[in-house]
Amino acid sequence: MRKKQGTRTTEWIVYIILILVCIFAIFPLYWGISTSFKERSHIMTYPVEWIPKSPNLEHYRRIFRKPATPWYFLNSVLVSSGAVAMVLLVSSLAAYAAARFNFAGKKALMFIPLILWMIPPISIITPLYLIIAKAGLLDSHIALILVCAAIHAPIGTWLIRSFFQDIPSELDDAAMIDGCSRLQALFRIILPLSWPGLFACAILVFVRTWNIFLFAQTFLSSETKMVVQVGLYRYITEYGIDWGALMAMTTLALIPPAVLFIALQKHFVHALSGARVG
């Protein structure tokens, strides 16, 4: 009996801790959304207005009065989708080679790019800027897509490779006996069987590219080519912070990645739990 009571007490303590952690994590999100619906004069009032007394869409209307606002979201979708497509293509080819062929330096070739992925972006911003400038790609979405794809291709390769390793190589042999080439076997047989890994890779790349700020702020100069994260920065000036508009913009910026993650979260968790390092 004492053991059972001790076990229940431990479970309750764990539940309470988890609930507190969830509240701590969710509260900033709630506060930002709540602020986006408050009147401007009520945002900085004391005592604090935890729930908007007269919720309205004033701040949302204000951000869409700026002609560039729709372009921010359109550009973010374009850049994120382009990076996802490029990473899936490059990472699938690299992962297939790593999963099916043995060659000298294979393990090093898999781990070194993964280590490079952990390097802070700010440490490579200057050489990247010089390369893009010499290539004549400044102020273009192509430059942003290429950079994001290059940064995320290693982790994409690692994720997809773990799924390819779980697919018997006999399926490749059978496809090639039926007349398929290696590439045809990959695209017709292997990729359709690896869709959870592809979805997980797509979510990861989309969310990380959607949240990109440093590269976009550095490589782009036209207002109509900026992305959402740079658009958020426009509400922070030397004269102060427009909290209402900033929180309204932030709330809208959260919707696309949140919807994507909620729709495909099962595949994402399954891919991460099933990914193998070796």
**Tens of pLDDT along 78-132?**
999 999 999 999 999 988 888 888 877 777 777 777 777 778 888 889 999 999 9
Can you give the CATH number for the domain in which 87 is found? 1.10.3720.10
Measured between alpha carbons, how far is 180 from 108 in angstroms, rounded to an integer? Answer: 31
Query: Cα separation of 182 and 138, whole Å?
Result: 37
Based on the domain organization, do 94 and 202 belong to the same domain? yes
Rounded alpha-carbon distances, angstroms, from residue 201 to 1, 44, 91, 146, 182: 48, 41, 9, 16, 22
Q: Are residues 220 and 262 in the same domain?
A: yes
Q: What is the mean pLDDT of residues 52-63?
A: 87
Structure tokens at 60: 């949302």
User: Do 42 and 66 belong to one domain?
Assistant: no
pLDDT of residue 3: 55
- Tell me which of 3-12, 71-80, 126-135 is least confident: 3-12
Q: Copy the structure tokens of residue 99.
A: 């999963």
Model confidence at 2: pLDDT above 60:
no
Average pLDDT over residues 131-154: 91
DSSP string computed for 175-201: HHHTT--HHHHIIIIIHHHTHHHHHHH
Q: State whether 227 and 128 are in the same domain.
A: yes
Give the pLDDT of residue 270. Answer: 64
Mean pLDDT of the chain: 85
Specify the pLDDT at position 155.
Answer: 86
Q: 64 with 120, same domain?
A: yes
The reply to whether 125 and 25 lie within a common domain is: no
Q: What is the pLDDT of residue 277?
A: 43
Q: Are residues 99 and 217 in the same domain?
A: yes
Range of the domain at 25: 2-56
User: What is the pTM for the complete model shown?
Assistant: 0.84
- pLDDT over 90 percentage in the chain: 25
Question: Is 174 a residue whose pLDDT tops 70?
Answer: yes
pLDDT, tens digit (0-9, with 9 covering 90-100), for 208-221: 999 989 999 999 98
As given in the structure block, the two tokens for residue 206 are 């989309």
For residues 138 and 226, state if they share a domain.
yes
Q: What is the pLDDT of residue 1?
A: 52
Cα separation, 237 vs 235, whole angstroms: 6
Residue 278 predicted with pLDDT over 50: no
Segment 263-271 shows an average pLDDT of 69
Q: Domain end: 12, 35, 56, which one?
A: 56
Same domain? 116 vs 193: yes
Burial, 160: exposed, middle or buried (Cβ in 10 Å; 0-12, 13-18, 19+)? buried
The total number of structural domains in the chain stands at 2
Buried b (16+ CB within 10 A) or exposed e, 117-132: eeeeeeeebeebeeeb
Same domain, 33 and 131: no
Q: What's the pLDDT at 84?
A: 95
Binning pLDDT at 50, 70 and 90, where does residue 267 land?
Answer: low
Are 189 and 207 part of one and the same domain? Answer: yes
Q: Quick one: which H or E segment has residue 12?
A: helix 2-36
Q: Pick the last residue of a domain from 16, 38, 56.
A: 56
